[in-house]
């Protein structure tokens, strides 16, 4: 990457950091993330700088009072101008740990891994285009054993306004802030709610007038899908059969680009109009008369029922656009594996809430520099190498 381009990106991203010495440490930290081989520990980053600056970098990340929000907002605005994102993708990040002292660590069930893991769980919001993607905001999902334990809160410097939330709720909170405060062009939000509460998430996004495409499990214990023009069905198996039949009657092939395999694929996708209502008798949050669009995708020819179900508040006439938007999550999967992990997204060894957020902010700045270089055709810094790092 040409030095003048890199300096311009850093200058824009870091301009909100108040002190010139803090901006210098930020630049040194980002350069280390981009060029140092292996795990991005504080010592490795300091050694990469060629002098003894470990204590200063530690102070900048864990103790300094600069704010993450303005830096992340600047990165998002820069990417919006140069990448023209098509979607905001909320994607989970699981960071396995050996000990129990890092903020948010707990032995907890991780659905997409399928077992209990000693880990931190976080959610990142990514701006995604066909040319690239980049995480611009992060939320750490804190278990109650951290938020309800005064001594643990104190040791980790968890702010008083931060409560326990599952990762999907953290993602929605980040999206809400981006939509209301960051002055970004609105884009559909894509997220996976198969293991969460689709009713609550759709209600919150709808209330904020945010377009969404969310992956769901039609047998969710939280919500019921009710086909329009069909009587309510209490039997789950019968309801699934009705959904499958209706989706198959309104099915068409959709071509889309798979960023994981770098191929153009065609998938049979069916649509139908549905309403979503909560299973339990609690006060309604979602306007249960509002029509939503259910997509069913047959990703395997041997399955009678769709392998994927997506729910959206976009127009049903935009079937191809909705499904291609959903598939941009594949771009995030690839870039998380090939870029973000290599930049040290899972490598922070500190224990404080502030330190984790400062580190992840610098990871976003480094990733933005790499993404913009890649989109412009400039060479990506040599330190950024494909890294397929597992989460278990």
pLDDT digits (tens, 9 = 90+) for 76-108: 999 999 999 999 999 999 999 998 999 999 999
Query: Residue 286's pLDDT band (boundaries 50, 70, 90)?
Result: low
- Residue 78: which residues within 8 A CB-CB, separation 6 or more? 9, 12, 13, 368, 372
Query: Residue 7's pLDDT band (boundaries 50, 70, 90)?
Result: confident
- Alpha-carbon gap, residue 230 to 213, rounded angstroms: 23
- Residue 266: which residues within 8 A CB-CB, separation 6 or more? 253, 254, 255, 256
What pLDDT is recorded for position 377? Answer: 62
- In this model, does residue 388 exceed pLDDT 70? no
- Alpha-carbon gap, residue 363 to 141, rounded angstroms: 18
pLDDT digits (tens, 9 = 90+) for 211-259: 999 999 988 877 778 776 655 545 555 667 788 888 999 899 999 999 9
- Alpha-carbon gap, residue 199 to 286, rounded angstroms: 7
- Residue 93: which residues within 8 A CB-CB, separation 6 or more? 121, 122, 123, 124, 138, 336, 345, 346
Q: What is the mean pLDDT of residues 133-150?
A: 96
pLDDT digits (tens, 9 = 90+) for 263-276: 999 999 999 999 88
Radius of gyration of the CA atoms of the chain, in A = 22
The angle that helices 20-35 and 3-14 make with each other, rounded to 10 degrees, is 130
pLDDT digits (tens, 9 = 90+) for 300-323: 878 888 999 999 999 878 899 999
- Residue 312: which residues within 8 A CB-CB, separation 6 or more? 188, 211, 212, 213, 214, 292, 293, 295, 322
> How many residues can be counted in the chain?
392
**Both tokens of residue 166?**
């599952």
- In this model, does residue 383 exceed pLDDT 80? no
- In the chain, the percentage of residues whose pLDDT exceeds 70 is 89
Query: Residue 129's pLDDT band (boundaries 50, 70, 90)?
Result: very high
| H or E stretch covering 10 | helix 3-14
């Amino acid at each position: 990457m040409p030095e003048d381009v890199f300096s311009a990106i850093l200058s824009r991203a870091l301009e909100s950091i108040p002190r010139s010495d803090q901006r210098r440490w930020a630049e040194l930290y980002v350069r280390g993330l981009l060029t140092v081989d292996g795990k991005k520990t504080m010592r490795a980053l300091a050694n990469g700088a060629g002098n003894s600056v470990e204590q200063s970098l530690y102070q900048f990340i864990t103790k300094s009072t600069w704010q993450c929000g303005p830096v992340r907002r600047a990165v998002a605005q820069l990417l919006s101008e140069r990448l023209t994102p098509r979607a905001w993708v909320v994607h989970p990040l699981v960071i396995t740990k050996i000990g129990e002292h890092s903020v948010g660590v707990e032995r907890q069930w991780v659905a997409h891994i399928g077992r209990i893991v000693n880990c931190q769980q976080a959610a990142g919001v990514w701006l995604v285009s066909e040319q690239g993607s980049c995480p611009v905001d992060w939320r750490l999902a804190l278990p109650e054993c951290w938020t309800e334990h005064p001594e643990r809160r104190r040791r980790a410097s968890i702010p008083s306004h931060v409560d326990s939330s599952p990762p999907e709720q953290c993602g929605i909170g980040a999206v809400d802030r981006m939509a209301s405060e960051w002055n970004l062009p609105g884009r559909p939000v894509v997220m996976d709610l198969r293991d969460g509460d689709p009713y609550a998430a759709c209600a919150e996004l709808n209330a904020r007038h945010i377009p969404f495409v969310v992956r769901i499990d039609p047998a969710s214990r939280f919500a019921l899908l009710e086909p329009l023009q069909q009587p309510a069905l209490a039997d789950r198996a019968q309801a699934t059969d009705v959904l499958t039949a209706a989706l198959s009657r309104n099915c068409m092939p959709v071509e889309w680009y798979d960023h994981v395999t770098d191929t153009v694929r065609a998938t049979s996708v069916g649509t139908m109009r549905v309403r979503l209502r909560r299973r339990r008798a609690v006060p309604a949050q979602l306007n249960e008369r509002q029509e939503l669009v259910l997509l069913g995708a047959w990703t395997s020819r041997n399955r009678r029922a769709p392998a994927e179900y997506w729910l959206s508040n976009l127009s049903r006439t935009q079937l191809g656009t909705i499904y291609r938007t959903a598939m941009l999550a594949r771009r995030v999967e690839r870039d998380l594996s090939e870029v973000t992990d290599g930049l040290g997204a899972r490598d922070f060894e500190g224990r404080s809430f502030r330190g984790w957020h400062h580190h992840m902010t610098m990871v976003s700045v480094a990733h933005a520099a790499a993404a913009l270089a890649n989109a412009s055709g400039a060479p990506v810094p040599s330190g950024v190498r494909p890294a397929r790092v597992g989460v278990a």
